[in-house]
Amino acid sequence: MRISSLNLKIISGGVILAIAVGIRQSFGLFLEPISLDLNLGRESFALTIGLVNLLWGICAPFTGAISDKYGTGKVVLCGAMFYCLGLYLIGMADNETNLLFGGILIGIGLSGLGFTVILGAIGRAVPKNKRGTALGLASMGGSIGMFAAIPMAGKLIQDYSWSIALLTMVIMAAIIVPFAYGMRGKSNISTKDKQVENPQSVIEALKEAMTHRNFILLTIGFFICGFHVNFIVTHLPAYLSDLSFDSSVATTALALVGLANIFGVIIAGKIGDHMEKSKALVYFYSLRSIVFIIYVALPITPISTLIFTFTLGLLWLGTVPLTSGLVAAFFGVRYMSMLYGIVFLSHQIGGFASSWLGGYLYDISGNYNLMWGISIFLGLFAASIHYPIRECAVVRKAQSTQSI
């Protein structure tokens, strides 16, 4: 059976996200063994993970703009090369400098393999009424990757070493290369969407976005999403080790996040096609804080941890199709990769903050209590700033749509 170009793009994008994001989400399992083996505090590798997030975010608007203009396939190929090299350097590292340099390369590579580039390409190719579902299907790849990569990484670390585990992931990351073919070429904006697109330069698009209230609120909110998810994937394994839980608990817990999120992103995509995405995000962030509160308020056991991570997984990357869908709703899809890249930069700054801050606060206090409190507060704050957002397209001279 012949696969249509659109379906090929969705499948290829999902596989790329599965490999790239799945490997990235396993990095928390390496925090304790690398810190112990290289005789470093937790802050050192936590900073490396933070740099991955930060460089991923800083480069995302640029790789997104290149993808918008020249096509996604070339960007994916370059991203895969940087990603493989960064994984190799960390796998062979024997000091903090090598860890940090490897993290920088991985971050640059992920900017060409992550959600901004992949979802931007798909968003441009899909009609508006089906966009939420398509973005959810592609985002699901990251969840499947997390579900598969984390147990594999945990098993390799346990049976061999953290170095062997990372070098094995270099081979996995190389599998991305042939799937770049499915993302080749520039995506055509659907005929229906062309009616609401207005020719703009890149500078005009940036100026419009940076003065748009809803875009600013969305960008602030996505910082908090990044703070939440990176605190969990980076520090939960070490947190559970401090409670004297077997390492298999952490591996299973993070894998459950990925499993639950397979359903979560599909549900979020469907919700985004049938109700205001901003209101859905209010519910998502509020529920995250409630889940955090229940987990830390009750006695923490292996069973409660698995329930916590599965529940959290339902709310995990569901924010991605909703947030990227709002960017398209505000401005159209012409510069979607670039503009979503700006929002995603905020997400990654949040990821950098929680990855580094969690390690720093642990080293000076010996626990993660303050980080849990900060995460709860930020979730409630995110819900409050998404509430006034309205899912309306901006008004331009060539449009008659009513502005907000």
The confidence score (pLDDT) of residue 91 equals 94
The rounded distance, in Å, linking the Cα atoms of 66 and 338 is 8
The confidence score (pLDDT) of residue 198 equals 56
pLDDT in tens, the chain (404 residues): 456 677 788 889 989 999 998 998 889 889 889 989 998 877 788 888 888 988 998 998 889 888 878 888 899 999 999 999 999 999 999 888 999 999 999 999 999 998 888 888 887 777 777 777 777 778 788 778 888 888 899 899 999 999 999 999 999 999 999 998 888 755 555 444 544 455 678 888 888 999 999 999 999 999 999 999 989 988 998 899 999 999 889 989 988 988 898 888 788 877 877 788 999 999 999 999 999 999 999 999 999 999 999 999 999 878 888 898 899 889 887 788 788 889 988 998 998 899 889 988 998 999 999 999 999 999 999 999 999 998 888 876 654 444 33
The confidence score (pLDDT) of residue 185 equals 59
The confidence score (pLDDT) of residue 80 equals 96
The confidence score (pLDDT) of residue 105 equals 96
Q: What's the CATH number of domain 5-187+196-386, 3.30.420.40, 3.40.50.2300, 1.10.8.50, 1.20.1250.20?
A: 1.20.1250.20
**Positive or negative, the Cα torsion across 302, 304, 307, 313?**
negative
Write down the domain spans for the chain: 5-187+196-386
Predicted TM-score (pTM) of the model is 0.77
Of 293, 298, 282, 302, the closest CA to residue 388 belongs to 282
